[in-house]
């Protein structure tokens, strides 16, 4: 099995690497902090030779495109792509490509990575794309004329929206590529006690503080992702949303064809400059 994963150096991503490395022929860590990735590899002495580090900053679409290109030079086939990285940011910030940071890191960067990685996923006998979403998607409130919330930004609203986008993206992948033997799944890892959200302000920071005693550890939070990566495809539901290793009910909007088509078309338009030579 060959796996590529973003957000591999901390939290649930790190736990996924540790659990899945023994099952892999090759593993590719797409990360921003290469030092942390190398430290992680050093902690897995039995698997060091099979793990590669590829620099990838999801807030920089050129970096994402370069990472996808590097990945294609390292392997001609991929079994699992885990879009694990994500974040919530206290203030509106615009990336060098002109996108709102929450939107870019949680959705558009992964959208571009997935799109450019499709040839590797199609070339095998079946492949999985796993997107880490959240129950926060149930608080989403989509403005169809401002998908990135550039004009009406709030930290939690932006995060809730992108977590719904993760589900819409998953449904689109299942719809568009099942005939290529590619399946896609989304998951809620649980409310995990990591450094996630430490930069938050206001009511969301207060809610995180109240939730701390009830949070689960990263090892437990990684279990659904590990399950989806390692389970036989015939036992999983293509396009499904998983929680605690079982199918879960998502917000009604997550099944909206209108919304998923709108998001797909918008996302394709934003990554077009990186597809011109493809």
pLDDT tens-digit map of 208-249: 544 555 457 889 999 999 999 999 999 999 999 999 999 999
Token pair listed for 183:
């399946």
Using CA atoms, how far residue 166 sits from 47, 66, 87, in Å, is 31, 22, 13
Using CA atoms, how far residue 163 sits from 131, 166, 182, 207, in Å, is 10, 5, 21, 18
Token pair listed for 90:
């206290």
Helix axes 223-230, 11-20, angle to 10 degrees: 40
Which of 105-123 are b and which e, b meaning 16 or more Cβ less than 10 Å from the residue's Cβ?
Answer: bbbbbbbbbbbbbbebbee
Residue 209: the pLDDT is: 47
Mean pLDDT of 97-119: 98
CA distance 165 to 133: 8
Tell me the residue length of the chain.
278
Of 90-94, 146-150, 207-211, 223-227, the range with the lowest mean pLDDT is 207-211
Specify whether 115 is catalytic.
Answer: no
Residue 204: the pLDDT is: 52
Mean pLDDT of 172-186: 97
> CATH no. for residue 163?
3.40.50.720
At 123, is the pLDDT very low, low, confident or very high (cuts 50, 70, 90)?
confident
Mean pLDDT of 268-276: 93
Q: Which residues span the domain enclosing 12?
A: 2-274
CA distance 268 to 104: 13
Residue 94: the pLDDT is: 98
Q: What is the tens place of the pLDDT at every residue in 34-66?
A: 999 999 999 999 999 999 999 999 999 999 999
Token pair listed for 162:
């992108």
Question: What is the number of structural domains in the chain?
Answer: 1
Q: Say which of 159, 165, 241, 242 is annotated catalytic.
A: 159
Q: Is the pLDDT of residue 128 over 90?
A: yes
CA distance 171 to 116: 18
Using CA atoms, how far residue 109 sits from 112, 136, 249, in Å, is 5, 20, 26
CA distance 110 to 106: 7
């Amino acid at each position: 099995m060959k796996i590529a994963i973003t957000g591999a150096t901390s939290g649930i991503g790190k736990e996924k690497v540790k659990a899945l490395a023994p099952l892999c022929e090759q593993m590719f860590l797409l990360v921003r902090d290469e030092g942390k990735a190398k430290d992680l590899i050093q902690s897995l002495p039995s698997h060091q030779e099979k793990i590669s580090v590829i620099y990838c900053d999801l807030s920089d679409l050129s970096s994402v495109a370069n990472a996808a290109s590097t990945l294609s030079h390292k392997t001609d086939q991929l079994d699992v792509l885990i879009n694990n990285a994500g974040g919530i940011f206290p203030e509106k910030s615009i990336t060098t490509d002109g996108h709102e940071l929450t939107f870019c890191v949680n959705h558009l960067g992964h959208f571009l990575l997935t799109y450019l990685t499709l040839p590797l996923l199609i070339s095998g006998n079946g492949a999985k794309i796993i997107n880490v979403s959240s129950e926060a998607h149930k608080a989403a409130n989509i403005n169809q004329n401002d998908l990135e919330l550039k004009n009406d930004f709030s930290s939690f609203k932006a995060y809730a929206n992108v977590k719904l986008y993760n589900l819409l993206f998953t449904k689109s992948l299942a719809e568009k590529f099942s005939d290529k033997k590619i399946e896609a799944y989304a998951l809620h890892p649980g409310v995990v006690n990591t450094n996630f959200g430490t930069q938050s302000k206001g009511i969301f920071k207060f809610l995180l503080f109240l939730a701390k005693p009830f949070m689960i550890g990263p090892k437990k939070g990684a279990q659904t992702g590990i399950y989806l990566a390692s389970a036989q495809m015939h036992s999983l539901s293509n396009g499904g949303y998983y929680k605690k290793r079982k199918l879960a009910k998502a917000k009604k909007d997550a099944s909206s064809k209108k919304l998923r088509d709108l998001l797909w078309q918008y996302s394709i338009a934003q990554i077009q400059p990186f597809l011109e030579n493809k």
